[in-house]
Each structure stands twice: as C-alpha cells, then as structure tokens.
Structure 1
Amino acid sequence: MSTDFQAGRVSLGARLRELRTEAGLNGKDMAARLGWQRSKVSRLEHGKQTATVADLEAWAREADASEEAKDLTARLRGLESQQRSWRRQLVAGHRGVQERYVVEYRSTSRLRGYEATVVPGLFQTPDYARHLLLHNAELMQTPRDTEEAVRARMQRQAVLYESGRTFEVMVWEGALHALVCPREVMAAQLDRLIGMVGMDRVSLGVIPLGVPLKLSPKHGFWIFDESRVIVETVNTELHLEAAEDVALYGRVWDRLSEAAVQGTHVHRLIARARAALALS
C-alpha cells in the first residue's frame, strides 16, 4: 500500500473520530448505533480499514452530521484515485517502473488497453522502446538507465505468451504514423505489429482515421480486470479504483471498440503506414 494512500486513510479516520466525539459518543456507542463490531469502528478511525461509501453515509447519519456525508465521500474518492508523480517514480530511472508493470500484468486475467499516440509497450521493439525512454528521460530530467529499462520492458512482454490471460488492445491509427523514432526503427516496429495480429490470447484493433466515432479518441488508458484503471499523463500516473470510474472507462472502451477494425483490416492499415514511410 502506498504511503500517500495510507496517509489519506489515516486522515479520513481522524475525521470520523472527530464527528463521533462531537456527537458525544464513545466507540462502543457508535458501534451499537451502526450495528457493527466495536473493532470495525476502531479500524476505521485508525486508518487500518478502508471505508465504503455506505459506511461513511451511515457514520455521518448516526453522528447527527448527515451534511458531512458528501465531504467524507469526496475524501474516499481521493484515496481511490491515486496520483503518482512521474518525477517521484523515476527518481532512480525507468527500470523500476517497467518491473512493477510485470507484477501488475501477472495479477490480471483480462487486460484492455487503448493508446492514441504510441505503440503499446507490450508490442514495442527494443529500438522503438529505447527512443521513447530516452525522450522521456530527457523531458523528465531523470537518470538514464535506458538499457536496463529496455530489457525490463522486453521481459514484461513474456506475459503475452502465458496462459490464463487475455489482452485486448486498441490503437488510434495516428499512432502508426507518429515518427517518435527514425524511419527504419518505425518500419521494424510496424513489422512487429503485423506479427501480433492473430496471436492467441491477443486481440489487436486499430481505429482508422476518418471513421465515424461516438466520442473523441481521448487519452490512453488500461483496464485491469474490472477492478482498476491506469491512466498516464505527462506528469502523473493515475490509478482509478472507484467502481463508477472503472465502469466509465469500460463504456469509453466499448464506444471506441465499435469503431475499431480487426484482422485483415489491421494488416491493411499497418501496410498503409509502412508505405507512407517509404514515400516521405
């Protein structure tokens, strides 16, 4: 559990304790009103258990402070949406982040991912990954452990060949044309993508340029089972665990997937991007 998450949970517990004492109740009285074990009241107040929305609403009601329920719920949402600064995560370089993702993938049965601007890390060639990591290290002004990070990113691709998992990945066609590396590196990357089409346990879809959409292409995101979503921005990595947030990104996924093509259509779009490299 992250230090930020635990600190937030302790802060929420302290606020619950304030509401209880302001109502003139001791822990035993509060437990009796709520119909809970006394230990649950203690765990919540000391930040040793994460409250649910129902817990917080009941607490506010029994503490005669129903008007506080909205604030308590907002605090809980703050725990469930965790911002992890890239600067802080990359203080020792990129390798650790790549290795953490291996753990994330191996604890997931169904992974759905969407990228709008780059080829997903799970499908990257070493050379393509190297250029992205170098660009990012320069931008973030973090240590350049590039070769170690590239090796770690390639090692995490082993999950594609392990049983018990499915990978459903979509990319915006523009990502196939974005020259974030030399042309020969991009050509090899596109060849690698062609080899991913039709793989067992992997579904690769591409959203063509010019296709009618029910919403704009948005930013990239990854849905791990039905439990959490990870969203990367320029400066942070968001971990969303609230049920409504996961459901929202699920709906975004569904709308984007309606516009995506598969199979031979993907081959054609990749071939078009490959041909454009030769012409430009």
Structure 2
Amino acid sequence: MPLGTAPCDGTNLPPKRTTGITSVHEARDALGKRLRELRRQADLSGRQLAESLSWPPSKVSKLENGRQTPTDDDIRGWTRATGSEREAEALLASLHTLEIQHAEWQRQLRTGLRPHQQEIAELDARTRLFRAFEPTFVPGLLQTAEYARYRFAQSITVFKVRNDIDEAVAARVKRQEILYRPDKRFHFVLTEAALRYRLCPPEVMLGQLDRLISLSALPNVRLGIIGFETAYAVAPAHGFWLLNDDRVMVETFSAELNLAQPQEIELYGHVFEQLAAVAGYGRSARTIIHRVIEDLAPETETDDAG
C-alpha cells in the first residue's frame, strides 16, 4: 500500500517527530556518509575506488548518497580498498540494523509465503499486546482461510514468488489460535472501506464479515470500525501494527518496516489513540458490519440465481 511520510500540514501530530520511512532513509544516508568519509580519508576519488573494486563509478555515488543499500561484500570491499578494515564490523552492524528496519518483500518471500508466516508466529509468541490499524484489508489474525487465500495470491502475483498458498493459509490459520489465549490482548481498528474493497468475491467477503462479528465477542479482542460518516482527527494514511510498546510494523508494497526508536513508537501510539477514539465498538461496530453485509448479500443471491 502507498505510504505517506507525513501529513500535509502536520497540525494533527506532535511536532519534531520522525516518521518510519524517514528514519530508514536517514539510517541509509548516515551509512553512506560514513563510507564517503573513509574514502576521503584514504585520499581516493570515487572513480579510483570504483576501479579498484571493479565497480561502475555510479555505484560509489549511489552508496555514498543513500540511493543504494550496500551488501556485506560491498562493506568489506570498501573498507579493504580504503585501508579501514577496523571499521568493517561497526559498518556491518549498521547495515544489518538497517536491513531489519527495511526488510524487502522480495528477499523475505524468496523461499515462499509459509516461512514468513512462521517467522511472524514466533514474533506473536513474544507479544502480549497487539494494536493494529488497517484502512485497506482485514488483518491476518482475523482473516478466514478463503479471504487469506486471495491476499496471498496477490503477493504471488506482485512478487512472483513460489506458490505455496495452501501451506501459507494453513500457517496463518494456525497463528490465529493465539486469539484464544487469555494472556494476550488485541485491539483492532478498521475502516469501513476495508470491509467494502473488492479484494475477493462477494461470497468470500460475506464469510469474512461473519467472522469479524464472531471474533468481536472474544473477551480479549477489541474491534473498532470507523464508519464512512466519521470525521477524522488524523488521516488514515496507511496501516500499521504496534507490538507491545517496543516495535511498530508498517507494510509498503516493497518492504516491511520495523521501527523501534522510542520517538517512533510514541508517535504511532499517539496516532493509534486518535484513530481508536473515533471508531465504533460493540453494537456500533456490528451495525456497520451488518450494513455492509446487507449491501453485499444481493450480489451473491444474483450469482446463485444465475
């Protein structure tokens, strides 16, 4: 989903806060600046360094200006060519921190969809409080198997990864057992739009809506729905998850951002509170869901008649 880096005028958010995408860019820029310092200390031009490493000259410029993320081999080669091998360990640590922050889907999903579901399950086990805002689709922990199948199909289409949908769906359904653990707490906030987007056939969405109603009755699950008529204090720019009070996860089309800076967690916590405050819960949430069901049901009846 497209990610807006900040509101247009900043009036709804605390001042002097960095957004997640900004912090990732800043980390990449900082790494590039340090590489530039090492090159200059070695009294090498960008072209000279590139030639010594058999790289195209443009690669040095891209790495130094944060337009390309280096690999481990790039770091080792750079420090060797500039006589600064003692800096390699620190630079590699910075690189690996950046990789955790900005985990590209192509890399995460190269072995298929199911392994990533297992990684998320391990993270779930360590988390006691889940807070999620989704403006576009139903969160994975609340999905029916049929709805999940269409979400995974999109990933296969977009990223051209191995088709292991059956295994991935089974892993996602297995993950949902966590919803029934009394030591876990969940707070989901969805927009009405997420219930109406045509991301699967109507009959699949009807089953999904029924499941939302059922799950909203669980004692440790709080489900809020923001109706179309609601006035927002903070625009629903993109979805995100808050895990405990120590991590924020944001999904973009290209990557999963994992944010752990205290100011970022504070910012997203504030945004979540603003969105949760205008959501409807209990009977109000179910009223919105039933309204969507009533609008969608005639389409399935037409299909049955045909």
**TM-score w.r.t. structure 1 length?**
0.73
How many Å separate the matches in 2 of 1:166 and 1:232?
22
Could you tell me how far 1:274 is from its partner in structure 2?
Answer: 0.5
Aligned to 1:156: 175
Amino acid at match of 1:198: A
TM-superposition CA deviations, 1:149-199 (whole Å, max 9, x none): 000000110111113110111101101111211111111110111101121
Match of 1:63 in 2: none
Q: The residue matched to 1:234 in structure 2 has which SS?
A: coil
Determine if the alignment matches structure 1 residue 102 to structure 2 residue 121: yes
Contact 1:80 1:240 in 2 (8 A): no
Q: Could you tell me the percent identity over the aligned residues? A: 37
Alignment-derived partner of residue 63 in structure 2: none
Q: Does the 8 Å contact 2:215/2:221 carry over to 1?
A: yes
CA drift at 1:81: 7.2
Q: Aligned with 1:226: secondary structure?
A: coil
Structure-2 separation of matches of 1:243 and 1:262? 29
Partners of 2:206 and 2:297 within 8 A in 1: no
Aligned residues: 224
Give 2:232's match in structure 1, choosing from 213, 227, 234: 213
Q: Which runs of 5+ in 1 are unaligned?
A: 23-43, 51-74
Determine the C-alpha separation between the residues in 1 that align with 2:146 and 2:89: 49
Superposition map of 1:137-148 within 5 A: 137-148=156-167
* DSSP 3-state at the match of 1:139: helix
Partner residue, 1:128: 147
What SS does the aligned partner of 1:114 have? strand
Following superposition, the deviation at residue 45 of structure 1 comes to: 9.1
- Correspondence 1:167-206 to 2 at 5 A: 167-206=186-225
Query: Partners in 1 of 2:229 and 2:161 — Cα distance?
Result: 38
Q: How far apart in 2 are the matches of 1:216 and 1:135?
A: 26
Contact map agreement 2:248 2:260 (CA 8 A) in 1: yes
Determine helix, strand or coil for the equivalent of 1:143. Answer: coil
Q: TM-score, normalised by structure 2?
A: 0.67
- Cα 1:94–1:80 change in 2 (3 A) is closer
Residue 280 of structure 2 aligns to a residue whose secondary structure is coil
1:247 maps to which of 258, 266, 276? 266
User: What secondary structure is seen at the aligned counterpart in 1 of 2:187?
Assistant: strand
In the alignment, which residue of structure 2 is the partner of 1:69? none
Structure showing greater relative contact order (alpha-carbon pairs closer than 8 Å, 6 or more residues apart): 2
1:261 corresponds to? 280
Contact 1:81–1:242 (Cα < 8 Å) also in 2: no
Q: Distance in 2 between matches of 1:46 and 1:278?
A: 60
- Write the letter of the residue equivalent to 1:243: P
Report the CA distance between 1:137 and its aligned residue: 0.6
Q: Distance in 2 between matches of 1:218 and 1:247?
A: 17
Determine the C-alpha separation between the residues in 1 that align with 2:162 and 2:238: 26
Deviates more, 1:157-166 or 1:147-156: 157-166
Which residue identity is paired with 2:238? H
Q: Is the Cα contact below 8 Å between 1:115 and 1:171 reproduced in 2?
A: yes
Q: Which runs of 5+ in 2 are unaligned?
A: 1-23, 42-86, 300-306
Residue from 268, 273, 279 that aligns with 2:292: 273
